[in-house]
Amino acid sequence: MLRMISIVCALLLGASLVYAQSTAIAERKDILKGFGAAARDPGAMLKGEAAFDLAKVQNFLKVLQDGSPKLKALFPADSKSGGETKALPAIWDNQADFFARFDKLAVDAKAAEVAIKDEASFKTELPKVLGNCGGCHRPYRGQ
């Protein structure tokens, strides 16, 4: 009987760890997909494919500010694989740098939110924010 209880407990613990892992991966993917969705309109504006819309730009910057701090908690050691993650091992090898990039993204998004008042300031400031994306994807995200 004790052995059966031990087996059940081990199975439940294993299942809860898998659930926690998949939850972290799913949550971070949701936040990052939200970044991409919010970036579509400002990206089109930068390319001249859409008219400048300050409200959409400010929304994008707010999404970055809100999501960036949350991401740091969503890369626990047990979420290195599974859930179709594209996270590279370098994340866990260089966590201080990786997490600092989320801090920088939030700070840059806040600075841009304050600085962007019109199309001219948008074209100057938004590329500074968007540079954070590639700066993180190149070393820390697989294809």
The pLDDT tens digits of the residues spanning 88-108 come to: 999 999 999 999 999 999 999
Number of domains in the chain: 1
Question: CATH no. for residue 49?
Answer: 1.20.120.10
Q: Which residues of 112-125 are buried (b: 16+ CB within 10 A; e: fewer)?
A: bbeebeeeeebeeb
Task: For residue range 36-76, list pLDDT tens digits in order.
Answer: 999 999 999 999 999 999 999 999 999 999 999 999 999 99
Question: Quick one: pLDDT band at residue 83, thresholds 50, 70, 90?
Answer: confident
Using alpha carbons, list the distances in angstroms from residue 37 to 10, 59, 105. 40, 11, 16
Question: Containing H/E element for 119?
Answer: helix 119-140
Mean confidence (pLDDT) of the chain: 88
> In angstroms, rounded to a whole number, what is the distance separating the alpha carbons of residues 124 and 8?
59
Distances (CA, A) of 79 to 61, 64, 82: 27, 22, 7
Which residue range is the domain that position 32 belongs to?
Answer: 2-140
